[in-house]
C-alpha cells in the first residue's frame, strides 16, 4: 500500500454526530465502582431516547464479551425511538454470513430502515478463543472478506453459492430483503493493512479511533488511495470521547476527575491485557500515551487518559464548547464526516454535548438541526420571572 500515491484530503462541510450506548458499563469515574451506574435496560433506553430527541444521527453499539449483545439490545431499543439510527457491530467469523444477513435484513425492516452495520474483525486472541475462534490476524481478515462477499450479495437479493477458504455456502437465500437497498450502509473499524485492504474493497465508511488530526489525515489518505485503486470511494468517521465544560479549565478539571480513582496497579493490569491483543488499532491507541499518565494531552485538546484503562476508543476532546467544535472542524478538514462520541456518564453527557456544541457545528440534515433550523423549536430555557424570555448568549 505504501507505493500507492496518497490522495489529498477532501474537506467535508457537514457532519453527522452519533452517540454511544454503553452496553459494557457506565459511571462518573473510570476504574472504580465508586459512583458507578448499573447498566439496566431501562437506563440504556433513557440514553437512546435522549439521543433520539436531542437529534443525534445515530448510536453505536459495541460488541464483545464484555458487552450485552448488540443485536438484542438494538432490536429492543429501535421501536422505542423514532429517528435514531443503530450502528450495530458484526464480528465476521462469529456467525454464518447467511444468519447475519438475515438478522440485518430483519432489524432493518423492524426499525424502518434505521440500521447501519459496523464490521469489526476482533483484536483479542484470548477473547476470540473463548468464542471458539482460533485464527490468526491475517486469517480473520480473510474470513471478513469472504463473509462480506457472501453477506452483500445475499442481502442484495442474489442466491449465493460460495466456496472460499473459510466459508462455504450452498444455495444461500434471503427471503425478506432489507429495507435499505442494496443493503444497510457498511461501516468498518480496523487499522491494519489487511483491514484497510478489506475496507477499501467493500465498505462505505471507514472508522478510526481518535488519533491526532495529523495521523488521521494520513490514514484517510491511505484508505482513500486504496479505495481509489479499486475504483471506489469511502467516507470517514472518528470515534472519540468528549469532555466539554463551560470553560477550558473546568473541562481539564473534569478530565482529571474522571481518572482520579485509577491507580497505577490498575493501569498496569489494563496495559498488560491490551498488550496481548493483535489489533493494530489498539496498539496505535496505546502508543499515544505508552501507559504513562504524565503526558496525556497528545495533541491540542486531545486527551489519552481514557485509554489508560479502557480498550478501544481511548481519547477524548477536552475543552469549552467553542474549542471542542473547533477541534472537530479540524477533523472535518481532513475528511471526517461522522463523529461517534461519548462521555461519562452517557446520559448526562449526551444532553450536555448536544446543548452546548450542536449549535456550533455545521450539522448535516437529519441531525439535531436541519439546514440551520432547529428541529426542536423550544421553548429554550426557563422564563425569567415567569414572563420574559431568557436572552441568548452574547458571542
Residues in touch with ligand FMN (CB under 6 A): 62-64, 89, 91, 120-123, 189-192, 195, 207-209, 239, 279-282, 312, 340
3-state helix/strand/coil string of 27-60: ECCCCCCCCEECCCHHHHHHHHHHHHHHCCCEEE
The nearest distance, CB 189 to ligand FMN, in angstroms, is: 2
The C-alpha atoms of residue 172 and residue 30 are separated, in whole angstroms, by: 45
The nearest distance, CB 193 to ligand FMN, in angstroms, is: 8
Q: What are phi and psi of 100, to 5 degrees?
A: -65, -40
Closest CB to ligand FMN among 320 and 339? 339
Cβ count within 10 A of residue 384: 10
The nearest distance, CB 328 to ligand FMN, in angstroms, is: 16
Closest by CA position to 114, among listed 143, 83, 135:
83
Closest CB to ligand FMN among 169 and 336? 336
For Cα atoms 290, 21, 326, give the angle at the middle one, nearest 5 degrees: 60
Helix (H, G, I), strand (E, B) or coil at 338: strand
Helix (H, G, I), strand (E, B) or coil at 253: helix
Closest by CA position to 39, among listed 66, 75, 79:
66
Closest CB to ligand FMN among 174 and 187? 187
Closest CB to ligand FMN among 207 and 251? 207
The nearest distance, CB 264 to ligand FMN, in angstroms, is: 26
The nearest distance, CB 339 to ligand FMN, in angstroms, is: 11
The nearest distance, CB 21 to ligand FMN, in angstroms, is: 11
Closest CB to ligand FMN among 127 and 320? 127
Closest CB to ligand FMN among 169 and 340? 340
Handedness of CA 267, 271, 274, 280 (dihedral sign): positive
Closest CB to ligand FMN among 191 and 323? 191
The nearest distance, CB 127 to ligand FMN, in angstroms, is: 8
Grid cell 470553560 in the structure block, residue: 247
Closest CB to ligand FMN among 122 and 343? 122
What distance, in Å, lies between the first and last C-alpha atoms of the chain? 47
The nearest distance, CB 356 to ligand FMN, in angstroms, is: 23
For Cα atoms 171, 88, 191, give the angle at the middle one, nearest 5 degrees: 95
Closest by CA position to 221, among listed 210, 202, 208, 239:
208
Closest CB to ligand FMN among 122 and 321? 122
Structural element, H or E, at residue 174: none
Closest CB to ligand FMN among 149 and 208? 208
Quickly list H helices, 237-363.
248-258, 264-275, 280-287, 321-333, 346-357
Grid cell 459512583 in the structure block, residue: 35
The nearest distance, CB 23 to ligand FMN, in angstroms, is: 9
Q: How many CA atoms lie within 13 A of 90 on its CB side?
A: 31
The nearest distance, CB 386 to ligand FMN, in angstroms, is: 46
Closest by CA position to 325, among listed 350, 356, 296:
356
Amino acid at each position: 500500500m505504501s507505493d500507492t500515491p496518497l490522495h489529498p484530503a477532501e474537506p467535508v462541510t457537514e457532519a453527522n454526530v452519533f452517540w454511544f450506548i454503553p452496553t459494557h458499563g457506565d459511571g462518573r469515574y473510570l476504574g472504580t465502582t465508586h459512583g458507578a451506574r448499573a447498566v439496566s435496560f431501562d437506563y440504556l433506553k433513557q440514553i437512546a431516547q435522549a439521543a433520539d430527541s436531542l437529534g443525534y444521527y445515530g448510536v453505536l453499539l459495541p460488541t464483545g464479551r464484555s458487552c450485552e449483545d448488540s443485536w438484542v439490545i438494538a432490536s429492543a431499543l429501535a421501536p422505542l425511538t423514532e429517528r435514531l439510527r443503530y450502528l450495530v457491530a458484526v464480528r465476521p467469523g462469529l456467525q454464518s454470513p447467511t444468519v447475519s444477513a438475515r438478522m440485518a435484513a430483519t432489524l432493518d425492516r423492524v426499525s424502518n430502515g434505521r440500521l447501519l452495520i459496523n464490521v469489526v474483525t476482533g483484536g483479542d486472541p484470548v477473547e476470540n478463543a473463548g468464542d471458539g475462534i482460533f485464527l490468526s490476524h491475517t486469517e480473520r481478515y480473510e474470513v471478513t472478506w469472504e463473509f462480506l462477499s457472501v453477506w452483500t450479495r445475499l442481502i442484495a437479493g442474489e442466491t449465493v453459492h460460495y466456496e472460499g477458504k473459510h466459508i462455504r455456502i450452498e444455495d444461500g437465500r434471503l427471503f425478506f430483503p432489507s429495507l435499505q437497498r442494496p443493503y444497510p450502509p457498511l461501516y468498518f473499524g480496523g487499522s491494519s493493512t489487511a483491514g484497510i485492504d478489506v475496507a477499501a474493497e467493500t465498505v462505505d465508511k471507514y472508522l478510526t479511533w481518535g488519533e491526532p488530526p495529523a495521523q488521521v489525515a494520513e490514514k484517510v489518505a491511505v484508505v482513500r488511495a486504496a479505495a481509489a485503486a479499486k475504483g471506489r470511494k469511502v467516507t470517514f468517521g472518528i470515534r472519540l470521547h468528549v469532555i466539554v465544560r463551560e470553560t477550558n479549565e473546568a473541562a481539564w478539571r473534569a478530565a482529571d476527575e474522571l481518572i482520579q480513582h485509577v491507580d497505577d496497579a490498575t493501569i498496569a493490569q489494563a496495559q498488560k491485557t491490551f498488550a496481548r491483543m493483535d489489533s493494530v488499532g489498539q496498539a496505535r491507541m496505546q502508543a499515544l500515551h505508552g501507559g504513562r499518565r504524565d503526558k496525556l494531552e497528545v495533541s491540542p485538546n486531545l486527551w489519552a487518559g481514557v485509554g489508560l484503562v479502557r480498550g478501544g476508543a481511548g481519547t477524548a476532546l477536552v475543552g469549552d464548547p467553542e474549542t471542542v467544535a473547533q477541534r472537530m472542524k479540524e477533523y472535518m478538514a481532513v475528511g471526517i464526516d461522522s463523529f461517534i462520541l461519548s462521555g461519562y456518564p452517557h446520559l448526562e453527557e449526551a444532553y450536555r454535548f448536544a446543548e452546548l456544541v450542536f449549535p456550533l457545528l455545521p450539522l448535516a440534515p437529519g441531525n439535531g438541526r436541519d439546514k440551520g433550523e432547529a428541529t426542536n423549536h423550544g421553548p429554550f430555557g426557563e422564563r425569567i420571572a415567569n414572563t420574559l424570555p431568557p436572552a441568548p448568549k452574547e458571542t
